[in-house]
Amino acid sequence: MYDIIVVGAGPAGLTAAIYARRAEKSVLVIEKSTFGGQVTYSPQIENYPGFISMSGNEFADKMVEQAINLGAEIEMQTVEAVETDGDIKKVITDGGEFTAKAVIIAVGVRHRQTGLQNENSLVGKGISYCATCDGAFYRNRTVAVLGGGNSALQEAVLLSALCKKVYVIQNLDFLTGETKLINKVNEKENIEIITGTILDGITGSDALDYITLKNVETGETSNLSVDGLFVAIGLVPDNERFSGVAKLNDGGYFDSNESCLTATPGIYAAGDCRDKKVRQIATAVSDGAVAALAACSYIDNSL
């Protein structure tokens, strides 16, 4: 029996573990794959307060080290479900079952990928999923943004202030973002919009060399030389397995209040997996702290 089980070892989950241990609660962190989550995709972080620059892996390693030094336990398993049995929470994994007084779900989200060959091997070497995180590394260079919705257009506008040239590649014949945002994109002289076109290939070994585009109507293909490709075709939450204890909104994100509390007392959601407007490392860390303190208060005052 643990006081708190944290599901996920990204910035939100690790921060929750750190705060919970400092409150002298027993803590188990369960992670299925990579410590740090999406942050490990970033070759450098330059927007986290207090650090001029560090790699995503370095940031993740420091957080894991801090949590372990404080006494948090870590298990590498896949959580399949969370259930409640009165005041006791059961966390069911592919390796067994754990119990706790409170659970913090911090499973993050994953960026929807293109599924093309070479994509994973070139992440951080020309392929990115976050202009806010990585845009500065392409200053005065040529990049492409894949997507035509609000997220893609926001990425393009941000990149236009840094890059020499920005291509926006949209599979439809029109952009699907808000009119105001489309107008802003059209005002940028260094943004070129390519509609009715899909991404058909990604080429590069140690770095991205070029991308292959395919016209939807004609089937004609062409190569476009770019230094970077920003994939902005949506985020994918993986929260359905927790829907029995935590209400999801229409987008599949957790509904939670300012204390990160879900629909079930003692179960909290922290980080990118919950409904929110801004998804950055700083906001994930904030959620982790808030959720941990709320869980500690729940344990101290309600059980």
Q: Is 37 helix (H, G, I), strand (E, B) or coil?
A: helix
Q: Residue 240: is it exposed, middle or buried by C-beta count within 10 angstroms (0-12/13-18/19+)? A: exposed
**Closest listed residue to residue 293, CA positions, set 256, 268, 257:** 268
Q: For residue 236, list its beta bridge partners.
A: 110
- Computed over its alpha carbons, how large is the radius of gyration of the chain? 21
Active site residue 133: yes
Asked if 227 is an active-site residue, the reply is no
Task: Find the helix packing angle between 281-302 and 11-22, rounded to 10°.
Answer: 40
- Contact (Cβ atoms closer than 8 angstroms) between residue 294 and residue 25: no
Q: Which residue in 130, 163, 260, 273 is the catalytic one?
A: 130
The yes-or-no answer on residue 260 being catalytic is no
Give me the catalytic one of 3, 87, 133, 287.
Answer: 133
- Say if CB 77 and CB 94 are below 8 A apart: yes
Which of 3, 85, 134, 287 is labelled catalytic?
Answer: 134
Residues classed as catalytic: 130, 133-134
